[in-house]
């Protein structure tokens, strides 16, 4: 019996996905619950398993194609023996696409040769066919970048948006403030050494959201520095006992999350957002913790972090870190954040200006701990110092509030006893 495999529900506000890769090929044997295809949305990457054991039959949607929720992906022939996949077939996952095959030809160059071709939409996916019909386009005049020369939804959207793009429009989800500048033709010797790879949906959304934050918010950044001596000593003294008692390692991020929550209670505007002409003050603390992955930056959210102990916070951070690196973060894990903390110090960043995560009004940037000469009680001493940066929306947060918020975090980190005492 043939079993249809459809695109599953992808999470709140996510209506489509891109076929990142087929883990199994047509004719391969599959086990029940074994992943057969990897989908990439604008938030996460997820695997679709086979509901039954058998053989992967017809593959309907090709790699690179955009498919909507409920769309048919493939069929599995239940109980039929298939060919066992060789283990080495995982290698192409990280291999770049062949530039010569995947680089789309310029639309303008293809149009004259294909202008006379009759319009045929029979082999298009429903989503692509709908866009073509609505905008009265000839698919023959659109450069196809899908596997096997198939036309994808992204190809059609690019053609729709590109010719008369206004400054407020977006192209393939990436916001712009000005018409795209045509890329200069590189020298032949340089072109041969270039590699063209389509942006992932996650990377497109990252680009769009970061640009949107700059366009919509009156973003400003204030800086301070914190002496990490006390916190580092606290960690050195109690890390073994902490891990033995709570079965999780004691890090710095958990302390900064707890310090941020205390500061947010004292300066509620930093935990608020603007909705039209209203300010929404949030009496709860959902803290986003930025995590870098091979696919891009993701920001899983610790829900109700204000109700957690330090040990609970560290468990949540550890769990998110592991799942993010394995591509197991769900869309709901990244929803509902009220404030974000980003630690560029793990990559060696000494100072940066983090960009807001809309609609949030504040983001805290941590940086590299570095020994520096500082003056304490008129004496020059060597201390482990860290620069802190707070980017904030000046429309809702005044400079006094931003500076005071950051100074409050500095106080608590330099004297962690304040966190225990709530002072």
Task: Determine if the peptide bond prior to 359 is cis (ω within 30°).
Answer: yes
Q: Residue 156's Cα: distance from chain center in Å?
A: 24
CB-based contacts of 392, cutoff 8 Å, min separation 6 = 219, 220, 221, 222, 270, 356, 361, 362, 363, 402
Cβ(42)–Cβ(125) under 8 Å? no
- CB 341, CB 256: distance < 8 Å: yes
Give Cα separations from 31 to 45, 51, 178, 270 (angstroms): 21, 8, 50, 50
Q: Which of 155, 304, 398, 415 is catalytic?
A: 398
Q: At a CB cut-off of 8 Å and minimum separation 6, what does 239 contact?
A: 249, 250
- Dist. CA 353–CA 148, nearest whole Å: 43
Q: How far apart are CA 180 and CA 163, in angstroms?
A: 10
Instruction: Give the H or E element holding residue 296.
Output: strand 296-298
81-85: Cβ within 8 A, 24+ apart: 81/29, 81/55, 82/27, 82/28, 82/29, 82/30, 82/54, 82/55, 82/56, 83/27, 83/28, 83/29, 83/55, 84/28, 84/29, 85/24, 85/25, 85/28, 85/29
Biggest CA-to-CA distance, the chain: 84
Set 33, 332, 394, 415: catalytic member: 394
Query: 398 an active-site residue?
Result: yes
Report CA torsion sign: 245, 251, 254, 258: positive
In this structure, what token pair is assigned to residue 99? 């530039």
Total residues found in the chain within this entry: 423
Which structure tokens are listed for 397? 């947060």
Q: Which residues are catalytic?
A: 394, 398
């Amino acid at each position: 019996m043939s079993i249809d495999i459809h695109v599953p529900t992808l999470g709140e506000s996510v209506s489509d996905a891109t076929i990142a890769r087929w883990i199994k090929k047509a004719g391969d044997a599959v086990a029940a619950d074994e992943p057969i295809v990897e989908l990439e949305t604008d938030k996460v990457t997820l695997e679709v398993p086979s509901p039954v054991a058998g053989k992967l039959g017809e593959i309907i949607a090709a790699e690179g194609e955009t498919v909507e929720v409920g769309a048919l992906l493939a069929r599995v022939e239940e109980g039929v023996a298939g060919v066992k996949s060789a283990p080495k077939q995982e290698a192409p996952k990280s291999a770049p696409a062949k530039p010569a095959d995947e680089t789309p030809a310029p639309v303008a160059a293809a149009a004259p040769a294909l202008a006379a071709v009759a319009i045929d939409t029979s082999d298009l996916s429903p989503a692509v066919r709908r866009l073509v019909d609505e905008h009265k386009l000839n698919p023959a005049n659109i450069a196809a970048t899908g596997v096997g020369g198939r036309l994808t939804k992204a190809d059609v959207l690019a053609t729709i948006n590109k010719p008369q793009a206004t400054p407020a429009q977006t192209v393939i989800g990436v916001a712009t403030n000005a018409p795209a500048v045509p890329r200069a033709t590189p020298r032949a010797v340089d072109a041969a050494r270039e590699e063209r790879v389509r942006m992932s949906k996650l990377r497109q959304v990252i680009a769009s959201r970061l640009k949107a934050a700059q366009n919509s918010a009156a973003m400003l950044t204030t800086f301070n520095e914190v002496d990490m001596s006390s916190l580092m000593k606290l960690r050195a003294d109690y890390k073994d006992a902490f891990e033995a008692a709570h079965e999780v390692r004691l890090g710095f991020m958990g302390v900064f999350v707890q310090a941020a929550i205390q500061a947010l209670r004292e300066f509620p505007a930093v935990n608020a957002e603007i909705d039209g002409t209203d300010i929404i003050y949030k009496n709860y603390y959902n803290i986003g913790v930025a995590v870098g992955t091979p696919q891009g930056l993701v920001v899983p959210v610790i829900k109700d972090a204000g109700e957690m102990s330090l040990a609970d916070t560290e468990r949540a951070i550890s769990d998110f870190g592991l799942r993010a690196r394995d591509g197991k973060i769900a869309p709901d894990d990244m929803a509902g954040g009220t404030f974000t903390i980003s630690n560029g110090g793990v990559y060696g960043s000494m100072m940066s200006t983090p960009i807001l995560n809309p609609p949030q009004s504040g983001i805290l940037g941590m940086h590299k701990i570095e020994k520096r000469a500082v003056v304490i009680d008129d004496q020059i001493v060597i201390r482990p110092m860290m620069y802190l940066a707070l980017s904030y929306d000046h429309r809702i947060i005044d400079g006094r509030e931003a500076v005071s918020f950051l100074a409050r975090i500095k106080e608590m980190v330099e004297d962690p006893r304040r966190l225990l005492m709530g002072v």
